[in-house]
Structure 1
Amino acid sequence: MGRASWPRLAPAVDDRRMGVLSEQAAVRRLWDRFGFGAAPGDLTRPFDETLDRLLGAPAGGGTAPPELPVTTKPPKDDQQARKTANKQRAAQEKQLAAWWLDRMVTTQGADVTAERMTWFWHGHFATSAQKVKVPALMLKQNQTFRQRGLGSFTDLARTLVVDPAMILWLDGDDNTTGAANENLAREFMELFSLGVGHYSETDVREAARALTGWTVNRATGATKLVPKRHDDGPEEILGERAQFSAESFVDHVLERPESAPFVVGRLWFRLVSSTPPDKDTLDGLVGAYGTNRDIRAVLRAVAGTSAFRDDRTTLVKQPVEWLAGLLRAAGLRPSTLDDGVSTKLYQGLVALGQVPFRPPSVGGWPAGAAFLTTAAGLTRLRIAQLVAKTADLSTVSGKDPVEAVRVLLSVDAFSDRTRAALGKVAANPAQVTALAACAPEYVVSG
């Protein structure tokens, strides 16, 4: 279908009553924010029951991870070996991305929340295969996010500060006594735990000393502390002088009063709204986080805030979230798709600027309007056309295809402008589905 045959969608006008979401819309929002969108049948349970289901103990479902060997660097002077290694690494990265997308699409209940939080932490502790260059280590970090992402932030942070992919990503391998590398220490405080302005350059230098000596065994992928490379201190960090280990450094930083609001604020920013919570709401979320730094408790508290039920609280779906949700709604499992379709979906994410395991920087991916450019809109349309062409859309027919596609995609309501645009292609299930998937009401999670 040529691009010119598709009607242009005007920006939606939100003509819903301003106020509290309906029960079903609130349930839909739970699936959007704590998962990757609703699949058929997911909106039949009430809000509280759905919340309990999503925040329960994961059952460990989903596609098993691929078996990836830890690869070693080929000799610099062996060009053929380097080319072969690069091709193998690229193939493994694509395999990993496809496997993870499959889990996002197919897991249910608490398992899909575990995947959503794995995705969140991947953006928070952003680590890229582009520099790490060992897909097996990226997978190991991914599994850490999945296993610990709904538990204690303390446990997660302690693990990540000595994670092999993180050490390679932030040059921890070069951090040795007498020549401390500050990258990991700086980013841990600035981006992972405290935020800008809550530490000094002296704190960075001293924290780097505390983290010296951790190395990655590239043959096994394991990390270890090499005593002769470690500065045994003492160091003075954030006003305290001690012989800090990696673990005690993490604990000390997380005990700072700025840390809890920062971590809770990042969760709010990605799962609720780009508008910060008011003081009372923030205080309540910090209280739920508590001394155990309980992520699951924060999510439950988030769902109980008035902002979570406010129909004006919107988020632009990131490309991966959008695609995973569309595949869930369409009933398509990535691992069963034709290789040509899978490749085109991967290329589409590349064009949209968001590929799993390849964040652009340690700051992660942008949010909001960064993914609403004209070029992104055209790419989304091409991806949506491909999905719609592949899916069984027998339900998008009958007397009111526009209403049928609204139900399929779990959109609360289309604006009059969107409904009119969709009506022009309503006779073609693939066209109306693809266009609806690119409509503002679907691209933006209301």
Structure 2
Amino acid sequence: MNRNSLWSLRLGFSNKQALAIEKSGIKQFLEQSFQVPFDKSIPSLLDSSPKSYTDLRELRKKAKDGGPEVLREIQKEGIDTNTAMKSWWINKMMTDEFPLKEKMVCFWQNHYVATYQKVKVNYWVFQHNQIIRENAFGNFRELTKQIVQSNAVVRYLDNTDNKKGKINENLSRELLELFTIGIGNYTEEDVQNGAKGLAGLNVGEQKAVYRKPEMDNDPITYFGQKGVFKIDEMVDIIFKQKSMPYFATRKILKWFIYDEPSEKLVTYYGDYFRSVDFEIKPLLMKIFTEEFDKNTAGSKIKNPLEYSLQLISELNIEIKNNNFLAFFLRQQNMDLFNQPNVKGWDGGRSWLTSQVYLQRNNLSYMLTNGKVLNQKILKDNSKMDSSKTKEQQVRLDWNKGNNKQIISQLSDRLLFQVEENTQKDFESILKYDFDENAKNADQAVLRLFNTMIKLPEFQLI
């Protein structure tokens, strides 16, 4: 695979940025990606969603007073809004000139899980997403402080039930286990005392706030330090721990490059992360510029976003409604804003179960044949060949040349490697006497493309 195409996929979701990486070089491309401005605007799809704790209480009262029918209507509106949010986010991933920010937002969203299914307030989930977007390339410690004090996380991890004399340890535990240092680097006493420090941190008008009657202000011992600690002080203490940088560094390497990064690399980049005081941008710059020069193609299974958005981009398909993509991602166990559990998407081999692979092949078949997709078709495979399915324009970009040149073009941007037998198979589809100017030339190249994307090698980057 061409290195620029490989890194266009790794730093985004398609081959669109390959030329920019080739022209400017990886370092300048990254600098441009880091400079993408933060969009503070709130999409109109959230106009009817409660935006404060007061709004939420009023909506609850409306549901209670209105009875079951009103409650069902409110629940349906919430689900519809959440689907629209998924489509809104997918559109950003597809259309941003420098999609690295959205890929990083997706990483952090899966790191600090807070699902709509449990939070039940779309605006709070959106706020959570925006905190991540604004700080995606900022400081890991400061991002952690902000995200733990979001209404979404406090509600998702049950800190609304954490009060003095009635302690709930969920947020305290996940702050250590999943947000910062990982299992094995803290004690149960740290979890218990951390929960006391978090007691009373409850949902507020715009963000979580401590409620004085519910707080526990007794001194605690936290990682060997004694005092009255609240969330900001607790995070500062956690980030001073020797093991702090490696858990997140390993996850970043897994998200972008390696399904199984070596401990040597984790330690090397983790030590650097600590040396730059947990600033995310210099860490990413170091990882990407150094790994760019290595031959690492094929070290990671594409996640469903990378798989589907690459196909759509390659085929130049205009998507009018991203809802079908949101549904496909849910089928693939990568439901945006709704991870299966607090640990998030597993990634790696979980992206290639037999069912997932079948669904991917179904999607590729429909897209390459120009079928307009919807949830009903994706859900019921018997409708895949329905004559009632609408058609849409499909256009594959390729430069004219002989059969081997065209095979090489497509291979360079689609496959991390091509074996000798596979090359012969390609040449049996696009024969030596291929006429680049023939009326059916586009269809012949599309058949070759369709063969390539069915290969196991297409599943890897």
Query: 2:187 & 2:343 partners in 1: Cα distance?
Result: 19
Task: Show the counterpart of 2:7.
Answer: 30
Structure 1 residues 234-286: Cα deviation after superposition (integer angstroms, max 9, x where no partner): 11111111110111111111111111122212212222213333437623542
Task: Show the counterpart of 2:272.
Answer: 287
Q: Is this contact kept in 2: 1:33–1:272, CA < 8 A?
A: yes
Identity %: 20
Q: Is this contact kept in 2: 1:170–1:184, CA < 8 A?
A: yes
Task: Show the counterpart of 1:213.
Answer: 200
Q: Is this contact kept in 2: 1:260–1:286, CA < 8 A?
A: yes
Aligned pair 1:375/2:328, yes or no?
no
Structure 1 residues 66-117: Cα deviation after superposition (integer angstroms, max 9, x where no partner): 44122533329821122112211111111111111111111123xx111111
Task: Show the counterpart of 2:89.
Answer: 100
Distance 1:293 1:164, change over 3 A: same
Task: Show the counterpart of 1:14.
Answer: none
Deviates more, 1:195-204 or 1:390-399: 390-399
Deviates more, 1:64-73 or 1:349-358: 64-73
Aligned pair 1:58/2:27, yes or no?
no
Task: Show the counterpart of 2:343.
Answer: 363
Query: 1:88 & 1:436 partners in 2: Cα distance?
Result: 42
Q: Is this contact kept in 1: 2:269–2:283, CA < 8 A?
A: no
Residue type at the aligned position of 2:193: E
Where in structure 2 are the equivalents of 1:286-305 lying within 5 Å? Answer: 286-290=271-275, 292-305=277-290
Where in structure 2 are the equivalents of 1:23-422 lying within 5 Å? Answer: 24-25=2-3, 27-39=4-16, 41-42=19-20, 44-45=22-23, 47-53=25-31, 55-60=33-38, 65-68=43-46, 69-70=49-50, 72-73=59-60, 74-75=63-64, 78-109=67-98, 112-217=99-204, 220-279=205-264, 282-290=267-275, 292-305=277-290, 309-311=294-296, 314-332=299-317, 334=319, 337=320, 339=321, 342-388=322-368, 389=370, 390=392, 392-395=394-397, 400=403, 402-403=407-408, 405-406=410-411, 409-411=413-415, 413-419=417-423
SS of match in other structure, 2:178:
helix
Query: 2:178 & 2:247 partners in 1: Cα distance?
Result: 9
Query: 1:63 & 1:101 partners in 2: Cα distance?
Result: 17
Query: 2:292 & 2:408 partners in 1: Cα distance?
Result: 28
Distance 1:312 1:393, change over 3 A: closer
Query: 1:371 & 1:284 partners in 2: Cα distance?
Result: 26
Structure 1 residues 143-190: Cα deviation after superposition (integer angstroms, max 9, x where no partner): 111110111001100001111111111001111111111000001101
Q: Report the TM-score, using the length of structure 1 for normalisation.
A: 0.83
Deviates more, 1:82-91 or 1:153-162: 82-91
* Aligned length in residues: 412
Distance 1:238 1:288, change over 3 A: closer
The Cα RMSD (Å) is 2.9
Query: 2:259 & 2:153 partners in 1: Cα distance?
Result: 27
Residue type at the aligned position of 1:383: L
Q: Is this contact kept in 1: 2:167–2:196, CA < 8 A?
A: yes
Please report how far the alpha carbon of residue 415 of structure 1 lies from its aligned counterpart in structure 2 after TM superposition. Answer: 3.5
Please report how far the alpha carbon of residue 357 of structure 1 lies from its aligned counterpart in structure 2 after TM superposition. Answer: 0.5
Uncovered stretches (5+) of structure 1, i.e. residues with no partner? 1-20
Distance 1:102 1:432, change over 3 A: farther
SS of match in other structure, 1:44:
helix
Of structures 1 and 2, the larger Rg is shown by 2
Q: Report the TM-score, using the length of structure 2 for normalisation.
A: 0.81
SS of match in other structure, 1:197:
coil
